[in-house]
């Protein structure tokens, strides 16, 4: 059986300029004929061929080319294959932190652009520590909740091992905010970190916080949905009463009930199935109906290995 090759974000860490000592020549070989994608043409034989921009696209055009459709800005980010310059990094970070909002750009479009900029920074940065701090600052200080949410996502997605303490500190801070507005995203971030790192702190914090968020009256419903999903994934038993409470509450939203139901399916016992089926919540929504059937099958097939309630 072959091993997997992970194609995630790679720590390039500014290695591009590092001289490599005592190695044989490294040389590119081009085809002897012009090669690449042929330009198609409009109309007659001598009609001018339609070519893309003659100069290398630059990432920074994503910021300065105004007014420009956001798709074109993002294409400038994606097309650029060159290394990221420190000045560019600073420029991008300042763009976000100073909350420079391009004129005539919708808020959602701005969110999209910032997200793409961060994707680019994460992929090409030579200074992961600075970038992690930038995400941490933005996650705590930006006036836009969506941007803060994105910052947490990107911070958690960083794989460089020496930013771990920055990640944990910033995510912990987000979990301690009043009303925990971004608790769900933060928990997912911690989950992602716990999958990559042997450090136990991320997982400990999830196990500690998930029941609190599920029980919290302050936490937004979106965070509770995620908390239930993680409780199921991590088999956090103590959320069972709240899970039943949620699925029996007809005012709960579909995703919340579904996540609670799935959590019961993951960690519930044989007798929980009867309780679930008796809750009379199954029929009105196709997704819940389908999930309930799957859960029933799952509990049934593993009934022998699941302990009964005391």
Partner 1 sequence: MNKNQKSLVKSSRCTLCIILGIGMAAGVWSLSLANPRVLSIQEDRGKESMELSVEGLAGHVYLFQKSTNLTAWSFIPDYAVGQGSAFQRWFLVENGPLFFRVLGSDDPDEPWLSADYNQTGISAWDQIHLGYNPFLTEDADFNGLPDVWEVFHYGAIGVDEQADSDQDNLSNILEFYLGTNPRLADEDLIAITPPPLKGAYATPGSVYLDWRHSLSEHSISRYEVFRDGQKIAAVRGYPTSYTDATVEAGSNYTYSVTCVNRLGESSAHTTVEVVTPMASNIPGPWGLTDFNGSDLGPGYAAYHEAEDMYVLSGATRDILNDFCFLYQVFEGDFSITVRVHGVEPTAYWSKAGLAVMNELSSQSLGLSYAFSGKSDAQIQKREVYGAGSGARTTPGVDTEGWLRIVRKGDQWDFYASYDAQNWLRVGHEQLALNDRVYLGIGFAGNNTRKYGSAVFSDLVVEDRNDSDNDGLTDEEEAELGLDPRNADTDGDGFSDFEETMILFSDPEKVDIGSVQVVQQIEGSDRTDSLGAWAGQQDGSLVARDQRGWLEYQVTLPSNGMYRLSLALTEPINPGSDSFHELEFYMGGHFVNRVQVLLDRTESAFAQVITPYLAAGTHTLKVFWDNTLTYRRIAIQSLEVQHLENFGWVQHRLRTINGVLFDEARIQESHISPLQIEGWSKHMDYTEVQWTDGTSLPVQPSPGGQWFCELPLENTNTVQTALLSMENDALQFPVFAKWVAYDLFSRITEEMNVRIHDRLKLCMSEADSDQPGELLIESPDGTISQHTFTKSLAEVTVIFLVPGAYRLRGSLPGISGGPDRQVDLSVHVFDDQLAGDRYLKTSLSEMWSHPKMSFESEFHYDSRLTITEVPPLEGARTFQVGTVGTRPLLAAARLPENGTILDTASVKGVRVSSSLQTSFAVTDVFTDGTEVVTMPVVVSPVVPGMEVRIRIAVQGVTFVDGSLVKILTADDFDELGRATVRFLKAKEVSTSNCYRISVTFPETDGGEP
Tell me the per-residue interface mask from 37 to 76 with partner 1, x by CB under 8 A, - otherwise.
Answer: xxxxxxx-xx-xxxxxx-xxxx-xx-xxx-----xx-x--
Identify residues 188-227 at the interface with partner 1 (CB under 8 A).
Answer: 188-189, 191-192, 198-201, 220-223, 225-226
CB of 113 to partner 1, least distance (A): 11
Question: How many CA atoms does the CB half-sphere of 272 hold within 13 Å?
Answer: 30
Look at residue 49 and give its three-state secondary structure.
strand
Of residues 21 and 304, the one with the C-beta less far from partner 1:
21
Name 49's bridge partners: 41
Distances (CA, A) of 251 to 25, 99, 163, 235, 256: 69, 38, 42, 25, 10
CB of 31 to partner 1, least distance (A): 4
Of residues 290 and 310, the one with the C-beta less far from partner 1:
290
Interacting residue with partner 1 among 235, 274, 294, 300 (CB under 8 A): 294
Q: Give dist(CA 238, CA 48) in Å, integer.
A: 70
Q: Give dist(CA 267, CA 234) in Å, integer.
A: 9
141 binds partner 1 (CB under 8 A): no
Identify residues 240-269 at the interface with partner 1 (CB under 8 A).
Answer: 253-256, 258-259, 261-262
Interacting residue with partner 1 among 97, 99, 129, 296 (CB under 8 A): 129
106 binds partner 1 (CB under 8 A): no
CB of 310 to partner 1, least distance (A): 27
Of residues 225 and 304, the one with the C-beta less far from partner 1:
225
Distances (CA, A) of 219 to 22, 179, 216: 59, 6, 6
Interacting residue with partner 1 among 15, 277, 297, 303 (CB under 8 A): 15
Interacting residue with partner 1 among 67, 81, 217, 283 (CB under 8 A): 81
Interacting residue with partner 1 among 141, 145, 179, 212 (CB under 8 A): 145
150 binds partner 1 (CB under 8 A): yes
State in Å, rounded, how far the first CA of the chain is from the last one.
43
Q: Give dist(CA 233, CA 239) in Å, integer.
A: 12
Sequence length of the chain is: 310
Of residues 241 and 290, the one with the C-beta less far from partner 1:
290
Give the dihedral sign, CA 104/107/112/118.
positive
Q: How many residues bind partner 1 (CB under 8 A)?
A: 134
Interacting residue with partner 1 among 14, 99, 211, 282 (CB under 8 A): 14
Identify residues 264-283 at the interface with partner 1 (CB under 8 A).
Answer: none
Residue whose pair of structure tokens reads 């919290």 in the numeric block = 216
Q: Give dist(CA 161, CA 11) in Å, integer.
A: 10
Q: Give dist(CA 163, CA 209) in Å, integer.
A: 22
Interacting residue with partner 1 among 93, 134, 138, 149 (CB under 8 A): 149
Q: Give dist(CA 80, CA 55) in Å, integer.
A: 11
CB of 290 to partner 1, least distance (A): 8
178 binds partner 1 (CB under 8 A): no
Q: Give dist(CA 292, CA 276) in Å, integer.
A: 8
CB of 176 to partner 1, least distance (A): 14
């Amino acid at each position: 059986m072959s091993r997997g090759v992970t194609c995630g974000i790679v720590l390039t860490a500014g290695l591009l300029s590092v001289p490599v000592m005592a190695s044989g020549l490294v040389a590119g070989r081009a085809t002897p004929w012009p090669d690449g994608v042929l330009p198609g043409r409009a109309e007659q034989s001598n009609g001018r061929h339609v070519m893309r921009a003659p100069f290398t696209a630059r990432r920074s055009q994503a910021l300065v080319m105004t007014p420009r459709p956001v798709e074109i800005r993002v294409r400038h980010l994606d097309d650029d294959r060159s290394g990221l310059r420190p000045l560019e990094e600073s420029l991008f970070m300042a763009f976000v932190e100073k909350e420079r909002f391009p004129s005539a750009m919708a808020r959602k479009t701005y969110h999209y652009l910032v997200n793409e900029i961060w994707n680019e920074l994460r992929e090409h940065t030579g200074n992961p520590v600075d970038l992690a701090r930038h995400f941490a600052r933005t996650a705590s200080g930006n006036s836009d909740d969506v941007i803060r949410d994105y910052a947490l996502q990107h911070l958690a997605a960083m794989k460089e091992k020496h930013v771990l303490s920055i990640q944990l500190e910033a995510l912990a801070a987000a979990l301690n905010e009043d009303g925990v507005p971004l608790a769900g995203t933060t928990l997912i971030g911690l989950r992602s970190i716990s999958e990559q790192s042997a450090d136990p702190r991320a997982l400990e914090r999830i196990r500690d916080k998930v029941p609190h968020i599920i029980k919290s009256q302050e936490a937004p419903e979106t965070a509770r949905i995620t908390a239930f999903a993680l409780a199921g994934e991590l088999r956090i038993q103590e959320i069972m009463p709240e899970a039943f409470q949620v699925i029996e509450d007809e005012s709960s939203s579909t995703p919340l009930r579904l996540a609670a139901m799935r959590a019961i399916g993951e960690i519930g016992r044989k007798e929980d199935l009867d309780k679930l089926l008796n809750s009379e919540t199954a029929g009105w929504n196709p997704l819940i109906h389908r999930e309930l059937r799957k859960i029933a099958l799952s509990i049934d097939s593993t009934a022998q290995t699941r302990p009964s309630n005391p």
